Amino acid sequence: MAGTTEVKKAACYFCHMNCGMLVHVEDGVVKKVTGDPEHPFNQGAQCPRGASAMDHLNHINRVNYPLKRVGERGSGNFKRVSWEEALEDIAARLKKYKAEYGAESIATAGGTNRTDDWARRRFFNLLGSPNVVHTSPVCWIPNFLVETAIYGWSAFDPEIMGSRCVVVWGHNPGASYLPEMRGLLEAREKNGTKIIVIDPRCSETAARADLWLPIRPGSDCALALAWLNVIINEELYDADFVENWTVGFEELRERVQEYTPEWAEAKTWVPAEKIALAARIYATSRPACIQWGVATDQLGRATSAVAQARAVLRAICGNLDVPGGDVMPGPHPTFITDVEMELNELLPEEQRAKQLGSDRFRLSTWPGYKLLNEQLERVWGKGLPAEWMCEASPPVLWRAILTGKPYPVKALIVLADNPLSSYANSRLVYEALNKLDLLVVMDYWLTPTAALADYVLPAASWLERPVLTTTYGVSDWLIASERAVQPLYERKTDYDFWRALGIKMGQEEYWPWQTNEEAFQYRLEPLGYGLETYEDFVQGVRFDFAPREYYKYLEKGFATPSGKVELKSSILETLGYDPLPHYVEPPFSPEATPELARDYPLILIAGGGFMPFYHSEHRQITRLRLLHPEPRVAINPELAQKLTIKEGDWVWIETPKGKVKQRAKLTTAVPPGVVQAERGWWYPEKGAKDLFGVWESNINACLDDDPDTCDPACGSWCTRSVLCRIAKVEG
């Protein structure tokens, strides 16, 4: 509208926090972005990423038009085409693959949940393919699913402000989620909340802890089991809750006898008395909560065992769904949630059975999803979304593309993802992407993955699209935010893309909403606010938090087959897994692979969020890159001295899978036997022909994703306990 100045209520989507932003728009042009002081998450604050929103919107290297590859794959040569031409050709080719090889020959890969994921799943269910992948096996989902099997939802909403003790486990909000860190420190200041941090590194969060347990990378399961041993044998558990609301306690008691603090000391490198002390503080400081991060989702075959032991800890200490404890929000009761938009019921049974990896990773695929949702629907009235919670296995997908087994996979549509940077075993991923008949990438930029694509499609960023924040569709609240401006150039939202492609594929009747806003308005209607448009809702209401209820199990029971917390899980047992907590060593460690440790004596932690970047994003934003120009590997000064490595030297990090280089950062935050490399690195300045230097520093090129080393329940590969050696780059 000409001559107008407006302040739009948007949400930053540069990370999961979805901080509220006020966007000042003059005559349709974004002039300023500031933190929204009324937003409950950030209360006006903005991190450096959020502050770079306008740079991102107007960046000279944004993809602004659909591009079609000309010349060899990977040549970096593209020509501009119209949306119509691109969609027409993509749809024609998808129809051909479906007719010749079946719908399962078409797959999609997505990244962190910052897109309209339900729309992707809707499209794929209508298409008839079960092969949707994300980085879900290493990001939040294993914990969520194991907890859901044991007590019928994830207790992912720790109530820090009312808690007497917060355990921060494998999580570093001090570096990756600053609003969370603020909340933690405020709780200690106001309420004297004790903070226990479990992390091999003296992270930004560990440095502020009351008690820090510097465990050996990947030994989390031993620690959790030893806590169970102490808490049960010293009778520090909540006897009433255990008596009335759990099943399997006696078997649990028997099971944990072998896991003494002394046994755990050898596994974790933490003294037995310190392990016991931490267990006592946690168990006797009720209510307490455990705030976990993704580190324990990235332990390969040990992943779900950690989640299982930790879930049982919460339950026996009586912290589930209590004020100040681990609150299980359940789904929003009235709002139309993601699962209700996905049309999972339209995916035929025989297609579900073809989901890649569902024969071995049974909790995170259709077999587990079906069992969990039966219980969830009974108690909560609705289940989990299939997107993220019921996915094909990425390692199995890459191998199917390469071998044609168990069936050919011909096409991959990538949205909000950069598999070449973000998935383990990057060389294998590269070979797989090269083998595809059709690779479509929708992104803001030409990324290493996009450089290999047949089509690159321009994506709208958060200033150009509305956002409905619902935590992957599993929270009992929502926050609605509006787009500040219409997409610039020919950028589209991913909803627009799936809808347009769906219509080309004959799905028209299932895509009645012309815009994101219309779809969101449909989802909001049952809330009963009676507002005409989505924009009215944002301006007038914006937040809908279902009234917070505690002890919901008193009325409904837990959403498990017994209606109680299953310390011995019948769902895990039905799926063929050990129903009781047990110890699993990660696949690569001095203990699991001593022969490998002779040549690769150091433990590599590959990953962990760090400011100012998010995953593999933002390297092209100059103001952020100036803050952190190059990748850094953290090395203890003692180790560095032995290897004659100095601060700032380029250092090779080598595993049996490959080697990459990063700059040495000498720090006592990591112990001498451990190094931590940064993830997600590529160099946007290096050009598409060189795949933006993706082989130089991308630590995923050093990681293995062999399905035999992945978590048996959820398919997680190992990034946090990998064996490596390092050496100074000479010359």
Q: How far is it, in rounded angstroms, from Cα 485 to Cα 35? A: 17
Instruction: Give one DSSP letter per residue of 165-212, joined into a string.
Output: EEEEES--HHHH-HHHHHHHHHHHHHH--EEEEE-SS--TTGGG-SEE
Q: How far is it, in rounded angstroms, from Cα 634 to Cα 676? A: 5
669 lies in the binding site for ligand SF4 (CB under 6 A): no
Instruction: Give one DSSP letter per residue of 526-568, joined into a string.
Output: GG----SSHHHHHHHT-EEEPPP---THHHH--SSTTSSEESS
Matching residue, tokens 């199917």: 400
Q: How far is it, in rounded angstroms, from Cα 318 to Cα 550? A: 12
49 lies in the binding site for ligand SF4 (CB under 6 A): yes
Matching residue, tokens 């030893």: 226
Whole-number minimum distance, CB 159 to ligand SF4, in Å?
21
Strand partners of residue 456: 67, 441
Question: In this chain, which of 25, 47, 264, 606 binds ligand SF4, going by CB under 6 A?
Answer: 47
- The one segment of 43-51, 203-211, 297-305, 713-721 that binds ligand SF4 by CB under 6 A: 43-51
- Nearest Cα neighbor of 553 from 330, 243, 286, 264 is 330
Is the Cβ–Cβ distance between 43 and 60 less than 8 Å? no
Residue 167-196 contact track with ligand SF4, rule CB under 6 A, x = bound: -----------x------------------
Q: Which residue is nearest to ligand SF4 (CB)?
A: 50
Residue 47 or 57 with smaller CB distance to ligand SF4: 47
Residue 391 or 678 with smaller CB distance to ligand SF4: 678
- The one segment of 39-47, 626-634, 657-665, 671-679 that binds ligand SF4 by CB under 6 A: 39-47
Residue 50 or 561 with smaller CB distance to ligand SF4: 50
Whole-number minimum distance, CB 47 to ligand SF4, in Å?
3
Residue 15 or 480 with smaller CB distance to ligand SF4: 15
447 lies in the binding site for ligand SF4 (CB under 6 A): no
219 lies in the binding site for ligand SF4 (CB under 6 A): no
- The one segment of 45-53, 85-93, 374-382, 530-538 that binds ligand SF4 by CB under 6 A: 45-53
Question: In this chain, which of 46, 351, 449, 698 binds ligand SF4, going by CB under 6 A?
Answer: 46
Q: How far is it, in rounded angstroms, from Cα 152 to Cα 383? A: 10
50 lies in the binding site for ligand SF4 (CB under 6 A): yes
Q: How far is it, in rounded angstroms, from Cα 139 to Cα 295? A: 8
Beta carbons within 8 Å of 722's beta carbon, 6+ residues apart: 588, 603, 604, 605, 606, 655, 702, 703, 704
Whole-number minimum distance, CB 473 to ligand SF4, in Å?
18
Q: Report 6-25 residues binding ligand SF4 (CB under 6 A).
A: 12, 14-15, 17-19
Ramachandran bin of 218, using left for φ above 0, alpha for ψ from -120 to 50, beta for the remaining angles: left
Residue 28 or 40 with smaller CB distance to ligand SF4: 40
Q: How far is it, in rounded angstroms, from Cα 432 to Cα 424? A: 13
Residue 53 or 327 with smaller CB distance to ligand SF4: 53
Total residues binding ligand SF4 (CB under 6 A): 12
Whole-number minimum distance, CB 40 to ligand SF4, in Å?
12
Whole-number minimum distance, CB 16 to ligand SF4, in Å?
7
Residues forming the site for ligand SF4 (CB under 6 A): 12, 14-15, 17-19, 42, 46-47, 49-50, 178
